């Protein structure tokens, strides 16, 4: 496409129709020439599909929608001045999408737009006002979706392609027949205009005008949206690069009422990983979910889940499965798409509540080892690492799979071989150091002269062997070298092949050890806590900074133990294994939207710090139900804090960083009640007029999820 960067070349190569018209004019006279010139504006010929190379040109792209846009925008029930502003924002988006999609210079795009709008007066009048890089976000998204689903650049696209365009815009209309760009625009504007509350907010802040000035926009952002730190330059950038150089009622309502552009849940914390990912694993809560079916696997691979809990069993045909999902399918899914959008480690957790025969353990270990290969991370208990090891963090183990399971007994292991000196009492000489062992990791080198261990002089090789036999896995030991510093060796472990409590093959690939032992816990130990014991467990975040805890919570019986999720959150339990009930899925969705939805969220140590009361006024429901008024609501907080409802206001108080709010909002439209569920951390709520993301009740298990926006005012 390099040729398109030249204005003169563009004129020569991108307008074959004009040359054809000129040729016909010479043959048939001026009248015939004019008729031929008019033909391209009313026809799709020749389309990209009909060309020999099959490639669309910028002219094809623009001709596929400009006429429809002119007709629709000209028919809007607004003043001429407003129409010109709308047309200007549309043409800015049009120029920017064309420039970036076809890699053209702005001057060439401007010239092309001017030429193709010669008989389109509304759009033609806006061409002189377009500026490079100015774009209306709503129009830009629409044009990009149109281009992606109309590669042939025709004026009428199939129903399936039209539906894909609407879905990309979060417009919940259904089309069943071929549509034009004008049809899409009409549906989009109808969708935007359904939010009367957002249009009223525009009228209020426009102070009787048809457009918002940059000064009025700045006042709205700073005083109403409470973005006090926004500079004048940032306001100008938003005015140009969000609204396309003009704020009118439609792009304001589109921007202000959409979860894509005005999410109540802070996008700075949900769109990108912002936390330190190099801290110890124990400092993070990890998104957990059970994988017991193919549907579960599809869901966890597309969401913020990093720990897959597997209930191993053998199916009727002899296949190793988790529930009804073959283990091999899980392995293949992890390899294919587990790290496509999220590179942080995945933990395959073998449920401690399911008894697995040794033979099945052996086969599962073989499948994991052969299927994952180098993706499997070696457990730190084999290397003798401490909790401060840089490798013991999510950031250090990107694109790796970790296994959490029960583990058989381990024998203490250091990893060096020694020889006696010429007489007792002088220590020993290191003859070899095995790579990847605790000794190598601590800095012991071949030919080192070791004189002391644990503060005691080494008499000979046998004495050293006797001392090592008394050590425990994970214990730190000081070893002194002659004329050199002391080294700290963390004792590692080696699988005992004689131990049959757990299959040795499975024990050898464990990264996190699941155990019910309450004493002598190592950094990789994960204490299994029954959900019923959570209120009495006396666990806290400070204690769980040095090891892990795991608990399984079933949410199907909603009233059985409603506080379990809250207790687990307050305690700082890292692995909270939840089932696929609506209650648990909503809780998990809200809890792990933080930190860029990567599935790892740092546990804060804010102590008793609480946040100010949060008031949320529900203005109207999602556009999918005609932005109907709220008829009833229920709220609940998991963790510290209280929630209550007063009319159309949701009130949250006494919450902290670990608290999670779930609200069920009911709206009535056309005589039917529609219930939507929102799950969010109150600490992530932004002030002002916002859109709260929610799902239709009963659709938590759906993949992909259809997100709706409830329009509200937060103070």
Task: Give the pLDDT confidence score for residue 560 in this predicted structure.
Answer: 45
221-243 exposure pattern, b = at least 16 Cβ within 10 A, e = fewer: beebbebeeeeeeebeebbbbbb
Under 8 Å between Cβ of 263 and 690? yes
Q: Based on the domain organization, do 399 and 460 belong to the same domain?
A: no
Task: Give the pLDDT confidence score for residue 679 in this predicted structure.
Answer: 97
The structure tokens listed for 353 are 């509540």
Q: Based on the domain organization, do 295 and 382 belong to the same domain?
A: yes
Q: Based on the domain organization, do 40 and 134 belong to the same domain?
A: yes
The string of pLDDT tens digits covering residues 26-51 is 334 434 343 333 333 444 445 554 55
Q: Based on the domain organization, do 55 and 141 belong to the same domain?
A: yes
Q: Based on the domain organization, do 294 and 415 belong to the same domain?
A: no
DSSP assignment of 452-501, as one string? EETTEE--SHHHHHHHHHT--TT-EEEEEETTS-EEEEE-EEEE-TT--S
Stretch (H or E) spanning 212: strand 211-212
The string of pLDDT tens digits covering residues 596-618 is 999 999 987 655 677 899 999 99
Domain's final residue, options 141, 167, 193: 193
Q: Based on the domain organization, do 150 and 208 belong to the same domain?
A: no
Task: Give the pLDDT confidence score for residue 390 in this predicted structure.
Answer: 84
Q: Based on the domain organization, do 332 and 471 belong to the same domain?
A: no
Task: Give the pLDDT confidence score for residue 562 in this predicted structure.
Answer: 53
Question: What is the crossing angle of helices 181-193 and 159-168, to 10°?
Answer: 40
Domain's final residue, options 446, 466, 495: 495
Task: Give the pLDDT confidence score for residue 25 in this predicted structure.
Answer: 39
Under 8 Å between Cβ of 139 and 89? yes
Q: Based on the domain organization, do 202 and 324 belong to the same domain?
A: no
In a domain, 530, yes or no: no
**Residues in contact with 104: Cβ distance below 8 Å, sequence separation at least 6, in sequence order:** 1, 4, 5, 10, 58, 98
In a domain, 600, yes or no: no
Q: Based on the domain organization, do 62 and 147 belong to the same domain?
A: yes
Task: Give the pLDDT confidence score for residue 669 in this predicted structure.
Answer: 92
Task: Give the pLDDT confidence score for residue 3 in this predicted structure.
Answer: 37
In a domain, 603, yes or no: no
Domain's final residue, options 256, 275, 307: 256
In a domain, 266, yes or no: no
Distance CA 184, CA 16 (A): 29
294: CATH = 3.20.20.190
The structure tokens listed for 50 are 């009909």
Task: Give the pLDDT confidence score for residue 36 in this predicted structure.
Answer: 39
Task: Give the pLDDT confidence score for residue 48 in this predicted structure.
Answer: 52
Q: Based on the domain organization, do 203 and 348 belong to the same domain?
A: no
DSSP code at position 524: T
Query: What domain range includes position 123?
Result: 2-193
The structure tokens listed for 372 are 């994952």
Task: Give the pLDDT confidence score for residue 27 in this predicted structure.
Answer: 39
Task: Give the pLDDT confidence score for residue 21 in this predicted structure.
Answer: 38
Task: Give the pLDDT confidence score for residue 9 in this predicted structure.
Answer: 35
Enumerate residue ranges in the chain where pLDDT < 70: 1-54, 556-563, 605-608
In a domain, 300, yes or no: yes
The structure tokens listed for 396 are 């250090």
Q: What is the pTM of this model?
A: 0.84
In a domain, 24, yes or no: yes
698 closest CA partner among 560, 606, 592, 582: 582
Strands (E), 599-658: 600-602, 614-620, 630-638, 642-646, 649-653
In a domain, 585, yes or no: no
The string of pLDDT tens digits covering residues 207-255 is 989 999 999 999 999 999 999 889 999 999 999 999 999 999 999 999 9
Task: Give the pLDDT confidence score for residue 38 in this predicted structure.
Answer: 37
- The number of distinct structural domains making up the chain is 5
Task: Give the pLDDT confidence score for residue 23 in this predicted structure.
Answer: 40
Task: Give the pLDDT confidence score for residue 543 in this predicted structure.
Answer: 85
Q: Based on the domain organization, do 213 and 173 belong to the same domain?
A: no
446: CATH = 2.30.42.10
DSSP assignment of 310-338, as one string? E-EEE-TTS-EEETTEEHHHHHHHHHHHT
Task: Give the pLDDT confidence score for residue 32 in this predicted structure.
Answer: 39
Distance CA 105, CA 715 (A): 45
Q: Based on the domain organization, do 211 and 338 belong to the same domain?
A: no
Distance CA 240, CA 243 (A): 6
Phi and psi at residue 26, to the nearest 5°: -65, -35
In a domain, 591, yes or no: no
Q: How far is CA 285 from CA 69, 347, 570, in A?
A: 49, 13, 11
Under 8 Å between Cβ of 153 and 114? no
193 closest CA partner among 570, 496, 620, 634: 620
Task: Give the pLDDT confidence score for residue 482 in this predicted structure.
Answer: 83
């Amino acid at each position: 496409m390099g040729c398109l960067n030249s204005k003169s070349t563009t004129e020569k190569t991108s307008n074959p129709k004009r040359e054809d018209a000129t040729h016909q004019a010479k043959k048939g006279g001026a009248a015939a020439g004019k008729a031929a010139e008019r033909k391209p504006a009313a026809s799709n010929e020749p389309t990209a599909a009909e060309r020999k190379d099959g490639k669309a040109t910028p002219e094809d792209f623009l001709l596929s929608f400009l006429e429809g846009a002119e007709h629709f925008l000209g028919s809007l029930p607004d003043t001429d001045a407003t129409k010109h502003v709308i047309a200007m924002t549309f043409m800015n988006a049009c120029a920017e999408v064309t420039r970036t999609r076809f890699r053209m210079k702005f001057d060439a795009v401007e010239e092309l737009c001017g030429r193709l709008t010669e008989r389109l007066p509304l759009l033609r009048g806006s061409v002189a006002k377009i500026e490079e890089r100015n774009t209306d976000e709503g129009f830009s998204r629409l044009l990009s979706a149109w281009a992606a689903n109309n590669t042939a650049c025709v004026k009428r696209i199939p129903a399936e392609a039209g539906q894909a365009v609407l879905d990309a815009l979060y417009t919940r209309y259904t089309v069943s027949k071929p549509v034009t760009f004008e049809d899409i625009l009409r549906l989009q504007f109808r969708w935007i205009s359904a939010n009367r509350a957002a249009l009223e907010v525009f009228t209020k802040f426009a102070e009787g005008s048809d457009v918002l000035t940059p000064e009025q926009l700045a006042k709205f952002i700073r005083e109403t949206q409470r973005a006090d730190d926004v500079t004048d330059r940032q306001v100008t950038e938003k005015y140009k690069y969000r609204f396309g150089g003009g704020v009118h009622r439609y792009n304001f309502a589109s921007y202000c009422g959409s979860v894509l552009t005005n999410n109540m849940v802070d996008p700075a914390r949900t769109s990108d990983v912002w936390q330190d990912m190099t801290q110890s694993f124990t400092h993070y809560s990890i998104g957990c979910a059970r994988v017991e079916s193919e549907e579960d696997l599809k869901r966890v691979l597309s969401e913020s889940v990093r720990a897959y809990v597997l209930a191993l069993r053998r199916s009727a045909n002899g296949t190793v499965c988790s529930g009804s999902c073959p283990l091999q399918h899980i392995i293949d899914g992890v390899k294919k798409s587990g790290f496509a959008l999220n590179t942080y480690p995945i933990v395959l957790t073998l449920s401690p509540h399911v008894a697995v025969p040794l033979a099945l353990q052996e086969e599962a270990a073989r499948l994991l080892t052969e299927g994952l290969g180098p993706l499997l991370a070696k457990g730190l208990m084999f290397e003798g690492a401490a909790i401060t090891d840089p490798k013991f963090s999510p950031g250090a183990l990107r694109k790796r799979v970790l296994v959490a399971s029960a583990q058989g007994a381990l024998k203490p292991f250091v990893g060096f071989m020694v020889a006696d000196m010429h007489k007792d009492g002088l220590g020993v000489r290191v003859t070899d150091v095995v790579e990847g062992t605790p000794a190598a990791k601590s800095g012991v080198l071949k030919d080192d002269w070791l004189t002391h261990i644990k503060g005691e002089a080494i008499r000979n090789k046998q004495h050293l062997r006797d001392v090592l036999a008394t050590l425990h896995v994970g214990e730190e030991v000081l070893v002194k070298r002659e004329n050199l510093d002391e080294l700290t060796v963390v004792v590692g472990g080696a699988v005992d092949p004689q131990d049959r409590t757990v299959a040795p093959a499975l024990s050898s690939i464990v990264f996190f050890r699941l155990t019910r032992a309450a004493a002598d816990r190592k950094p990789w130990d994960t204490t299994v806590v029954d959900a019923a014991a959570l209120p009495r467990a006396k666990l806290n975040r400070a204690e769980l900074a040095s090891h892990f805890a795991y608990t399984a919570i079933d949410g199907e019986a909603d009233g059985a133990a409603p506080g379990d999720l809250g207790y687990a959150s307050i305690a700082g339990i890292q692995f909270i294994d939840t089932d696929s009930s609506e209650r648990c899925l909503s809780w998990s969705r809200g809890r792990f939207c933080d930190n860029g939805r990567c599935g790892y969220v740092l546990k804060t140590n804010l102590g008793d710090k609480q946040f100010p009361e949060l008031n949320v006024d529900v203005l109207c429901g999602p556009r999918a139900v005609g932005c109907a008024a709220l008829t009833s609501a229920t709220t609940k907080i998991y963790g510290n804090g209280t929630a209550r409802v007063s009319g159309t206001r949701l009130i949250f108080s006494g919450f902290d960083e670990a608290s999670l709010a779930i609200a069920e909002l009911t709206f009535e439209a056309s005589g039917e009640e529609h219930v939507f569920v929102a799950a969010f951390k109150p600490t992530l709520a932004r002030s002002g007029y916002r859109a709260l993301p929610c799902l239709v009740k009963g659709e938590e298990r759906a993949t992909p999820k259809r997100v709706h926006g409830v329009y509200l005012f937060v103070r």
